[in-house]
Amino acid sequence: MSDDPYDQSAPRRPEAPRESSGGSGGLGSLLDAPSSREPSTGLRGVFEHQELTPEQMKRRRRRGRVSLTTAIALFLLAGLITVSVLSSTFGWFEVRDYRGEGKDPVTFSVGQGATTGQIAVALEQQGVVADAETFVESFQEEHAGDFIQPGEYELRTEMSSEAAVGALMEEDEATHYAAVAQTLRMPDVFGILSQSTGIPVEEFEALEEDTGAFGIPARFPTLEGWLHPGEYRFPLDASAQQVLQTMVDRTRATLEDNGITDEDRAFEVLTMGSIIEFEVQPEHYDIVAGAIENRLENPDGETSGFIQSDASVTYGLGRKSYDFSEEERRDESNRYNTFANPGLPVGPIGSPGDAAIKAAADPEETDYYFWVTVDLESGETKFAETYAEHLENVEEYNQWCSENEGRCG
């Protein structure tokens, strides 16, 4: 080894190894220590945020937008719930009244004894006014102490309360409404008329035999047959006679429409029409009218001129049933008994409607003499030319009755 410090051939002293970054070598070791995760970049590398790829940045921005949208949606939902609860509690958005005279026509009925409050509720339920309370307030402003007359009124949907009050208080517009169904007997009709008009039923009953007062032919024993079924609107001040005259006039008009002007022919048509209404369904009116005419015009045939209607027998007995005894079947004193008395009964057993009058005025030409409804549920009716054929159909009816206990009594 040479002592010359510049001697390049002399071996050099090995340098002392540096302490590893795992030691506590102070700031120098911290600066020199390489990162175990990423290449060392000095102090700046220690404190800088982690760098993200473009895709990671997009995902992070997207998550931020979703979070913001969700927060806004939840805020709006909470606001809507709050408004809904408050509006329901305080009625913020309820329609208190409509404007104008209304839209679609509607018939409104005011019953006997109905209060203003009850009428108001019914008006709201039928869509005539928007709010019952508003209607009552409007009514009290103009008609305090008054009441609305019972009857039928032609109103409109979505009327202002003021317009509805005005229509209801116009007395000329009010009427008594009555609906008279088919196959009703005269006492039942009187009951409906009394209930609809408020006229005591006794006032109608007092007129039932006074046929001359209504221009009805003397051959008719009562008004039965002339109280035409249908819907009526009678003036509020109409009397019992005026109400009945309206119904009689409608029957007379229907007879004239079918070419019936002769009094005897009117009796035949109304009496026959009343029977076929009780005997069969409307689709069989024409053919049964023809069968009855065959019986009346052929007294020497199997039926010997007897109509043999169960409905007419029980009418004369004052019962609403098709069931009667053999003794009652032979009772000639029952003037409506078409088993014991040939020909038409003494008068109609009801007031026939348009279809029955038309069928009786122009019966269908047929060879049938017999008919029987074999299924009371469906109204199926079978016809026969001879009594033997008829008995077979009657057996079918009896079979139906045995399978439907209690329906044929």
Residue 225 near residue 352, CB atoms below 8 Å: yes
Q: How far is CA 282 from CA 183, 252, 276, 278, 355, in A?
A: 12, 21, 9, 10, 7
* Whether residue 1 has pLDDT greater than 60: no
Residue 292 near residue 373, CB atoms below 8 Å: no
* Whether residue 13 has pLDDT greater than 60: no
Element (H, E) at 381: strand 380-384
Positions of E strands within 54-208 = 105-110, 151-156, 175-180
Among 160, 170, 107, 153, which Cα is nearest to 137's? 160
Residue 29 near residue 21, CB atoms below 8 Å: yes
* Whether residue 215 has pLDDT greater than 50: yes
Question: How would residue 14 be classed by pLDDT, with cut points 50, 70 and 90?
Answer: very low
The per-residue pLDDT for 81 is 67
The per-residue pLDDT for 57 is 67
pLDDT-wise least confident of 16-30, 140-154, 263-277, 373-387: 16-30
* Whether residue 377 has pLDDT greater than 50: yes
Question: How would residue 62 be classed by pLDDT, with cut points 50, 70 and 90?
Answer: low
Whole-angstrom Cα distance, residue 119 to residue 168? 10
3-state helix, strand, coil in the chain (%, to 5): 45, 10, 45
Average pLDDT over residues 309-325: 91
Whole-angstrom Cα distance, residue 284 to residue 222? 28
Domains in the chain, ordered, with CATH? 105-173 (3.30.1490.480), 179-257 (no CATH), 264-403 (no CATH)
Average pLDDT over residues 87-111: 77
What residues contact residue 73 under an 8 Å CB cut-off, 6+ apart? none
**Is the pTM of the predicted complex or chain greater than 0.85?**
no
